[in-house]
Amino acid sequence: MTQTALAGAGAAGTETDAPAKPVRTARPRPAAKPHGQWKVDGKAPLNPVEAWKQEDDGLSVRHRIETIYSKQGFESISDDDLHGRFRWWGLYTQRKQGIDGGKTASLEPHELEDSYLMMRVRTDGGKLTTEQLRVIGQISVDFARNTADLTNRQNIQFHWIEVEDVPEIWRRLEAVGLQTTEACGDVPRGMLGSPVAGIAKAEIIDPTDFLQEIRDRFIGSPQFSNLPRKYKTSITGYPDHDTIHEINDISFVGVRHPELGPGYDLWVGGGLSTAPRLAQRVGVFVPPEDGPAVWEGVTSIFRDYGYRRMRNKARLKFLVEDWGAEKFRQVLEDEYLGRKLPDGIAPPKATVNGDHVGVHEQKDGKFFIGAAPFVGRFSGTQMLALADLLEAHGSHRLRTTPLQKVIALDIPKDEVEAVVAGLDEVGLSARPSVFRRNTMACTGIEFCKLAIVNTKDTAIDVIGELEVRLADLVDAGALNEPITLYLNGCPNSCARIQTADIGLKGIVVPADDGGTTGGFQVHLGGGLSSHNREEAGLGRTVRGLKVAIHDLADYVERVIRSYAANKLADE
């Protein structure tokens, strides 16, 4: 019986004077809001960011930087350009110095920034020559107060850049084949590539030409200069997985097909931030000659079908989650490639830590040496000294890695120990402690507007403490596996905390005096195959477990001691 019928019966048949209950009629459900998918919903912008992206392409701001902003100064920059299109050229505003992390959430963005810029230089695949290193180092000295951090996407990041200097910096970078094009923004950002591409003895396939082709054809092209959001690529042919392929939007992982030979297994939809997802295998084998077309097809799917209405749903991972791998493959093959791809085979399991730290023999009999700075912190003067060191030993090539390390290539056998010693003098250790080797930190409060805590200095302090406090475990051989410790300055995940054994997310915590202080929310138990894990997994938040910065070394020591005492034989 319907609600209306019940109401009618009561009104007619009741002997009381009580008023009849109001009649409830079923309301039509509102139509589901469109996701803002260009191919489904049309291109009308559904939020202000999509509006300015369509109004004027992000890449177009370069002309204004060269002709107006660099001449008239910071105050002349329009808001849409400063907080939007500048990213398409690797430029962000930098945090104003001296603002307490506890105030980050309560201040307006413009109150948190000053007139200096952060600039990111893309080094796809981490490839650098010593000539390029010298140019970056000198730019750092001349324009960036000697800052030149190594990011965990193989890029170099300057701070303290003034807009007046940007054209000269571009001129110097481009003279040696470097660029800041699309280093940030809703575009294909700097692409991860195996840092030992073309040199590792164990390599299944060398991805160098593949990566170079997609960079040359598509970076800076209007074809992909307006994606729904950022888009991260990784390509490796190294069997021990060195490009964190599980957490990129698109990844190609080297495999050897029993009939078709070396090629790639395709993964899509990985990403972290506040809604982490591991990538899914699409189930196709990509022959090397098809790599660029498949990259173009997947990127086109993201451009055309990606969700644009809500910024926090605009990453490829949400589309992949809704579609599933099967539908994704069908759309890729039917709508974008116009042909079927062979079925894929799963990549081999990683067997060693994919950070490449230490001394390793190359295919050609020379050696490469992977070395660790402290949590990616580096400087222009260190870069100039590193270029001198390598050239003095006959090397002209190096690589940066997705784990904030540096690899010196092409070292003759009898020069190895001299280079290892020289690297130490430059501030890079080829034989770092387990703690220095496996700790990463994001930019943090020194320069990032969103940060709540200081990450890099905190991490460096904790590394020093652990090296002393846990020396007994190290000496006893109880910590031979990588134990990763990653620090984020805020709830975003630039340092990939969900993929660490111990992941720390910057927050405000209660202080002993009744006020608040900087601290971390703890995640435990994450790991990727680049950390030599059989199966990738995301760490879990330990509910209610928060630790103040001044208690951090005590806490991490307790966790590691507990792990060492209780771990299983094969753990």
Q: Which stretch in 59-67, 291-299, 338-346, 436-444 sits in contact with ligand SF4 by CB under 6 A?
A: 436-444
Look up tokens 């054994």; give the residue. 501
CA distance 379 to 382: 5
User: Six-digit token pair at 105?
Assistant: 């959430």
| Least separation in angstroms between CB 570 and ligand SF4 | 33
Q: Does the footprint of ligand SF4 cover residue 494 (CB under 6 A)?
A: yes
Q: Which stretch in 167-175, 398-406, 488-496, 554-562 sits in contact with ligand SF4 by CB under 6 A?
A: 488-496
CA distance 248 to 514: 42
Measuring CA to CA, how many Å separate 341 from each of 10, 210, 250, 264, 406? 67, 18, 17, 11, 36
Residues in contact with ligand SF4, total (CB under 6 A)? Answer: 11
**Closest residue to bound ligand SF4 by CB:** 489
Site string for ligand SF4, 122-141 (x = CB under 6 A): --------------------
| Least separation in angstroms between CB 443 and ligand SF4 | 4
Q: Does the footprint of ligand SF4 cover residue 490 (CB under 6 A)?
A: yes
**Contact of 336 with 295, CB cutoff 8 Å:** no
| Least separation in angstroms between CB 493 and ligand SF4 | 6
| Least separation in angstroms between CB 273 and ligand SF4 | 9
| Least separation in angstroms between CB 114 and ligand SF4 | 16
Q: Does the footprint of ligand SF4 cover residue 118 (CB under 6 A)?
A: no
| Least separation in angstroms between CB 448 and ligand SF4 | 3
Closest to 409 measured CA to CA, from 245, 120, 208 = 208
Pick 433 or 493: Cβ nearer ligand SF4: 493
Q: Does the footprint of ligand SF4 cover residue 527 (CB under 6 A)?
A: no
**Contact of 271 with 249, CB cutoff 8 Å:** yes
| Least separation in angstroms between CB 99 and ligand SF4 | 13
Closest to 73 measured CA to CA, from 160, 166, 143, 164 = 164
Q: Which stretch in 51-59, 62-70, 384-392, 447-455 sits in contact with ligand SF4 by CB under 6 A?
A: 447-455
Closest to 532 measured CA to CA, from 563, 566, 570, 559 = 570
- Beta strand 113-121 with 156-161 is antiparallel
Pick 149 or 265: Cβ nearer ligand SF4: 149
254-274 burial, b for 16+ CB within 10 Å, e for fewer? Answer: bbebeeeeebbbbbbbbbbbe
- Strand ranges inside 62-219, DSSP E: 91-95, 113-121, 127-129, 149-150, 156-161, 192-193
Q: Does the footprint of ligand SF4 cover residue 489 (CB under 6 A)?
A: yes
CB atoms within 10 A of CB 450: 21
SS3 label, residue 477 = coil
380-413 burial, b for 16+ CB within 10 Å, e for fewer? Answer: bbbbbbbbbbbeebebebbbbbbbbbbbbbbbee
Q: Which stretch in 275-283, 308-316, 418-426, 439-447 sits in contact with ligand SF4 by CB under 6 A?
A: 439-447
Pick 369 or 495: Cβ nearer ligand SF4: 495
Residues in 451-470 at the binding interface with ligand SF4, rule: CB under 6 A? 451
Sheet with 439-441, strands from edge to edge, namely 439-441, 485-488, 502-510, 516-524, 540-548
User: Six-digit token pair at 9?
Assistant: 């019966």
Q: Which of 199, 214, 357, 450 binds ligand SF4 (CB under 6 A)?
A: 450
Q: Which stretch in 107-115, 132-140, 154-162, 441-449 sits in contact with ligand SF4 by CB under 6 A?
A: 441-449
Q: Which of 443, 458, 498, 532 binds ligand SF4 (CB under 6 A)?
A: 443
Q: Which of 183, 197, 420, 448 binds ligand SF4 (CB under 6 A)?
A: 448
Q: Which of 180, 243, 401, 488 binds ligand SF4 (CB under 6 A)?
A: 488
Chain residues binding ligand SF4 by CB under 6 A are: 442-444, 448, 450-451, 488-490, 492, 494
